[in-house]
A and B are shown apart, each in its own frame.
Chain A
Amino acid sequence: MSEMIARSEPAPGPNVITERGERAVFCGLTSIIWLHRRIQDAFFLVVGSRTCAHLLQSAAGVMIFAEPRFATAILGERDLAGMADCHEELDRVVSELLARRPDIRRLFLVGSCPSEVIKLDLANAAARLQGVHENRLRISAFSGSGIETTFTQGEDQCLSSMVPDLPVAPDEQLRLMVVGTLADIVEEQFRRHFAQLGIDRVDFFPAARADDLPVVGSGTRILLAQPYLSETVTALCKRGARLIHAPYPLGVEGTLAWFQAAASEWGQSFESVQEALAIPIARAQKALGRVRESLHGRSIHFLPDSQLEIPLARFLRDECGMTLLEVSTPYLDQSLMSEELARLGHTVRLVEGSDLDSALSRVRSHRPDLTVCGMGIANPLEAEGLRTKWSIELLFTPIQGFDQVADLAGLFARPLVRERQLEVGSWS
């Protein structure tokens, strides 16, 4: 029966199992950790509780930055009692903050679970504060709350909050906007590749400087560097941009297909792109070859976390020879993931959502060689003799593009290499 359906439809949809239950993921506030490294003159002010402040310092590699560009305005009982007070308090806190950090060019007011539940209108507050500090900096608001966003979706909320500020493109000329946080070094590599392909009007969003806002218009083509940006894409499309459907630039094949999808908008053939990028492709394949043997034939289980699971699974199976036992993702946007799902096929066990205890039971019974999971779960699984890769590292490390392919594979190979090398007992 399923074969018949598969034959009758050109692109068979994935068999997605939906789970509901306990979720062991960060909330969207966690995105602040990499966003504030990327946008180097932005400050993120969370309006929330002590829990929010505690999460940020715990997730930030436990306080590695002495003077962070993020902070929390902690709501107290007085704030919860009356709303008018809350806005005055926020004005005071923002003035205090700006006096301390004159270098800041953009301030994000970031909503949290408590601020959402008490319906504190931060968009309104941002507009009001913008009036007060008009010539100093831009102020906008987005939600990173756990009730509305899961982990990487915080970046989606942040970027979509900036879309209204993007200038209108002066003309309808074709231009490329690469959307999603990338490390500076990856951006530089991608710029060189686009130049090799003759695509010269390229913007990266977000840019390293908050004032470097790309223009947007009907000539804008969106190429996603990260897969979790649904709302940002919707907002950009409303401003006339069009999305290029592509897989994500992970692995040699993913990166090549990503450039090919973009270049075809500029009328270039897949073959010509492959030729133009032959040198980095060959270099990446050579480097990957050395790491692949550690991964080949090993099994992997993805617990739902970063929304990078599907492209990573595709890369690890197709280019590294790993076996996919289960690929779970907290949310699945089938439209943004269409090219990846087509490559992944429908034989993979694909789970959307989370029921932590039953997921862990499956991990324990299948005993994969490697489990990709959140930081809180990694050591307990290691203590049970299971090797893990914690997923937040995939957001902090440059992993996209040809020259990072071997580094990406290396992140997964390292726990396995380490297991072979160590001659000691385990947790007791």
Chain B
Amino acid sequence: MELTLWTYEGPPHVGAIRIAASMRDVHLVLHAPQGDTYADLLFTMIEREGRRPPVTWTTFQARDLGSSTAEMVIQTLQGVCQRYQPKVLLVAESCTGELLQDQPGALAKGAGLTAPVIPIEMAAYTRKENWGASETFYQLVRGLLASRAPKPGEAPTARAAGAPPSVNLIGPTKLGFRCRDDVTEISRLLECMGVRVNVVAPLGATPHDLLRIPEADANVNLAPEVGDLTCDWLKRQFKQPTINTVPMGWGATRDFITEVAETLGLDVDVDAVGGSRLPWYSRSVDSTYLTGKRVFIFADGTHALAAARMARDEMGFEVVGLGTYSRERARDVRSLASDYGLEALITDDYLAVERAVTELQPELVLGTQMERHIAKRLGIPCAVISTPAHVQDYPARYSPQMGFEGCNVIFDTWVHPLIMGLEEHLLTMFRDDFEFNDAAVPSHLGGEGGGAQQPDNVEPIMPSQTSAVAWAVSAEQELRKIPFFVRGKARRNTEHFAQEHGLSVIDVETLYEAKAHFSR
């Protein structure tokens, strides 16, 4: 039993829904109790989908238990075939369905349905959403393509002479982070290289499209959390190589171009494919203030790894914490973290992440919706870089994370929550100025209203209540001279320092001792 306030991933059947909702002509029947249908709103509210996910639920209740739940499965399957006439029918259970042991997959196979059936075992009590998505997509691809794999010793079908090289984009789904725009961006990038995109799946694909997957020269593993398993299987069965570099960040995008070119045997000048404003924006003098900013990163595996590289090598931050909730990617994240001299935080416990952020007091948090909450409570700037995400992270504008435009988008996204370079400089220089300090009322309000100007969403930081350390009046006054956006951190650091050194009263000297202790 595990105490959970927020969960990073949903249950595995939500992953199955993501696959069905991403595709056309596929329908998912879920054996699940009344209430589990809430999952519809993830798609229709958070992602603003204009169609219901193609999912029908048995929605059994207590009165159905023991007698008729298996019958409900069969009736539901027949009703779905009649009403929706899917090309492929997926059958799975939610956590409660699993406990009933009705075996809906077997029931479906025996029900004489018009649509081909692919049952998915969900393992609801050990697995989670991304695993469910990965497994469902894999079973779907395998179910459709297994009989078409070349026999041992048989060569895969060669590309027709004169046809352009082509790849599949594997892994993007509904409710993924910016998948819609990443597919567009990477398709454009590949087009610039003279590479055709054969199939994008599951996002936007039909079962018929999946049958065309073997026609491509290689698979781009664009969202490894979902695509890993399928790419591996295609590599084994159809001898299709996998392109594993995720093109997120300037360096990674260039590496991706190189890997595509090498895999497909193309002669490509990386500089000619495209460029980003990120390198120059990062080198321009205003960005000097970004140097060494302490950044905490927590995301799904793919976004955490990409963000760490970008943060250090492309933004000039210092990565002080790196972690992921994707246990499947733990090894990769651990290995990168150790390159950075860090111990990776591999957990799906929101409280453990909160503790880590509180302890590290970073200057910027790059995380999910959960870290946004943590950062908000601690008064630390934050940008969302990964699912789980809120409705605002499914923006109307074109906003990819991948490719060269993705670099531009990410530069802006990470820099905007911070106080700008010049602004920070001025605030420090003029902090004692009577019109410039944070308690001053804005002049345009003519002395009425206003009060302390605080950035949005930052709660006033109170002294930690457990602290047994007292502040001398002089130290308290000195503390007020510190700009408000770092004052909370200064207060906590100083108290921490005082406690560690067994001091019961903080005076001005203690404040500066602590400053020296914590300064880089």
Chain A neighbourhood of B2, CB < 8 A: 73-74, 76, 93
Contact B94 A22 (CB under 8 A): no
On whether A383 and B50 interact (CB within 8 A), knowing A50-B10, A54-B7, A72-B4, the answer reads: yes
Contact A377 B3 (CB under 8 A): no
Chain A neighbourhood of B9, CB < 8 A: 50
**Complex Cα distance A50/B41, Å?**
17
Mask of B370-404 contacts with A, CB within 8 angstroms, 1/0: 10011011000000000000110000000000000
Chain A neighbourhood of B1, CB < 8 A: 47, 73-76, 79, 86, 89-90, 92-93
On whether A75 and B391 interact (CB within 8 A), knowing A51-B36, A59-B38, A63-B369, the answer reads: no
On whether A24 and B4 interact (CB within 8 A), knowing A76-B125, A147-B96, A427-B50, the answer reads: no
**Complex Cα distance A343/B35, Å?**
31
Contact B96 A113 (CB under 8 A): yes
Contact B62 A148 (CB under 8 A): yes
Name the segment of B53-61, B254-262, B303-311, B336-344 touching the other chain.
Answer: B53-61
Q: Which residue of B lies closest to A148 (CB)?
A: B62
Q: Which residue of A lies closest to B97 (CB)?
A: A113
Most buried by A among B33, B373, B377: B33
**Residues of chain B in range 1-34 having any CB-CB distance to chain A below 8 Å:** 1-7, 9-11, 13-14, 33-34
Q: Does B37 belong to the interface (CB within 8 Å)?
A: yes
**Complex Cα distance A59/B50, Å?**
19
**Complex Cα distance A243/B35, Å?**
30
Q: Does A117 belong to the interface (CB within 8 Å)?
A: yes
**Complex Cα distance A330/B400, Å?**
43
**Complex Cα distance A79/B95, Å?**
14
Q: Which of A66, A79, A118 is the one whose CB lies under 8 Å from B373?
A: A66
Contact B52 A50 (CB under 8 A): no
Contact A23 B125 (CB under 8 A): no
Q: Which residue of B lies closest to A50 (CB)?
A: B11
Contact B37 A63 (CB under 8 A): no
Q: Which of B11, B33, B76 is the one whose CB lies under 8 Å from A147?
A: B33
Most buried by B among A51, A77, A93, A148: A51
On whether A62 and B35 interact (CB within 8 A), knowing A114-B96, A375-B41, the answer reads: no
Contact A375 B96 (CB under 8 A): no
Q: Does B79 belong to the interface (CB within 8 Å)?
A: yes
Contact A380 B51 (CB under 8 A): yes
Contact A376 B59 (CB under 8 A): no
Most buried by A among B1, B58, B99: B1
Chain A neighbourhood of B46, CB < 8 A: 58, 62
Contact B3 A93 (CB under 8 A): yes
Chain A neighbourhood of B58, CB < 8 A: 22
Q: Does B40 belong to the interface (CB within 8 Å)?
A: yes
On whether A24 and B11 interact (CB within 8 A), knowing A50-B128, A113-B35, A379-B50, the answer reads: no
**Complex Cα distance A54/B14, Å?**
10
Contact A25 B83 (CB under 8 A): no
A392 to chain B, nearest CB (A): 9
Q: Which residue of A lies closest to B76 (CB)?
A: A22
Contact A23 B59 (CB under 8 A): yes
**Complex Cα distance A118/B1, Å?**
14
**Residues of chain B in range 48-104 having any CB-CB distance to chain A below 8 Å:** 48-52, 56-62, 65, 76, 79, 83, 94-96, 99-100
Q: What is the size, in residues, of chain B's interface with A at 8 Å between Cβ atoms?
A: 58
**Residues of chain A in range 370-416 having any CB-CB distance to chain B below 8 Å:** 374-380, 382-383
Chain A neighbourhood of B34, CB < 8 A: 23, 25, 27, 146-147, 150
Contact B37 A25 (CB under 8 A): yes
Chain A neighbourhood of B369, CB < 8 A: 62-63
Q: Does A109 belong to the interface (CB within 8 Å)?
A: no
Q: Does B189 belong to the interface (CB within 8 Å)?
A: no
Most buried by A among B42, B60, B96: B96
Q: Does B147 belong to the interface (CB within 8 Å)?
A: no
Q: Does B45 belong to the interface (CB within 8 Å)?
A: yes
Contact A57 B6 (CB under 8 A): yes
Contact A49 B83 (CB under 8 A): no
Contact A148 B61 (CB under 8 A): yes
Chain A neighbourhood of B96, CB < 8 A: 49, 51, 113-114, 117, 146-147
**Complex Cα distance A81/B65, Å?**
21
Contact A22 B57 (CB under 8 A): yes
Q: Does A357 belong to the interface (CB within 8 Å)?
A: yes
On whether A63 and B373 interact (CB within 8 A), knowing A54-B10, A114-B95, A380-B44, the answer reads: yes
Chain B neighbourhood of A379, CB < 8 A: 44-45, 48-50
Q: Which residue of A lies closest to B40 (CB)?
A: A376
Supply 15 A–B pairs (Cβ within 8 Å), ascending by A: A25-B34, A26-B38, A27-B34, A27-B36, A30-B35, A54-B7, A59-B38, A63-B373, A67-B377, A72-B4, A96-B3, A375-B44, A375-B45, A379-B44, A380-B44
Besides the contacts A113-B35, A379-B50, what 20 more A-B pairs have beta carbons closer than 8 Å? A22-B56, A22-B57, A24-B40, A27-B34, A51-B11, A53-B4, A53-B7, A54-B7, A59-B41, A72-B4, A76-B125, A117-B99, A118-B99, A145-B33, A146-B33, A147-B62, A357-B56, A376-B37, A376-B52, A427-B50
Q: Which residues of A contact B (CB under 8 A)?
A: 22-30, 47, 49-51, 53-55, 57-59, 62-63, 66-68, 71-77, 79-80, 86, 89-90, 92-93, 96-97, 113-114, 116-118, 145-148, 150, 357, 374-380, 382-383, 426-428
